Amino acid sequence: MNVLTYLALGDSYTIGEAVPLQNNFPNQTVQLLRNKGLFFNAPEIIAKTGWTSGELIEAINKWSFLPRYDFVSLLIGVNNQYRGLSINEFRKELEQLIEKAIGITGNQPGRVALLSIPDYSITLFAEKLDKNKIASELAQYNMVNKELAFQYKLHYIDLQSTDKVESDREFIAPDGLHPSEKLYSIWAKKLAEVIFLSAKR
């Protein structure tokens, strides 16, 4: 039996802040893939609430990786925006992360997925913040994401589900900020489809 490996890189959105571990999107993704007949190990997750792209790089530099991973996902940047950090610095750090992700798949960019940064301006958390500023800045961050995904020939997965969140608060976790299991399941379906097709090639 061919055992497959999946590495998820990110921040609170990747670990699934405010939901049980098994309900975050990496674990839901693996379960969907197993249901499709692919034997994946449990996802390896390098992520922490509050991490910026720079802090993720620091953690990666200290991590002991497997020789190779069959698939890598990357979702980072919301804390760069939240802290008001330079978007140009984000671009440089995201490129470093992308190059690392490609390298640990055996230099197969088609085995890497870059996920868009969710727009938290529509959450309860942002009620007292400048929603327009948040949305505008995150749109700029996601333009960088999309450009680099195209440049490096990665899969780009757009996670924007604002219409759903605004019409159904069940998509938001009890903390009023992070996605619920219900929204993570939508993300997981998108990612599982990409990984399934890549694994069959």
Whether 70 is covered by a domain: the verdict is yes
Residue 9's SS3 state is strand
Whether 84 is covered by a domain: the verdict is yes
Residue with tokens 């590495």: 7
Task: Walk across the sheet containing 71-75 and list its strands.
Answer: 44-47, 6-10, 71-75, 112-115, 155-157
User: What's the domain count of the chain?
Assistant: 1
> What secondary structure letter does DSSP report for 156?
E
Whether 174 is covered by a domain: the verdict is yes
Q: For residue 88, how far is the Cα from the chain centroid?
A: 20
Q: For residue 177, how far is the Cα from the chain centroid?
A: 16
Burial of 13 (0-12, 13-18, 19+ CB in 10 A): buried
CB 161 within 8 A of CB 119: no
Whether 1 is covered by a domain: the verdict is no
Averaged pLDDT in 10-residue chunks for the chain of 201 residues: 92 96 97 96 97 98 96 98 97 98 97 96 91 96 98 95 68 91 95 91 72
The Cα–Cα gap between 154 and 15 comes to 22
Whether 157 is covered by a domain: the verdict is yes
**What CATH number does residue 93 fall under?**
3.40.50.1110
What are the beta bridge partners of residue 157? Answer: 115
Distances (CA, A) of 34 to 88, 188, 190: 39, 13, 15
Whether 131 is covered by a domain: the verdict is yes
Whether 135 is covered by a domain: the verdict is yes
Whether 53 is covered by a domain: the verdict is yes
pTM: 0.95
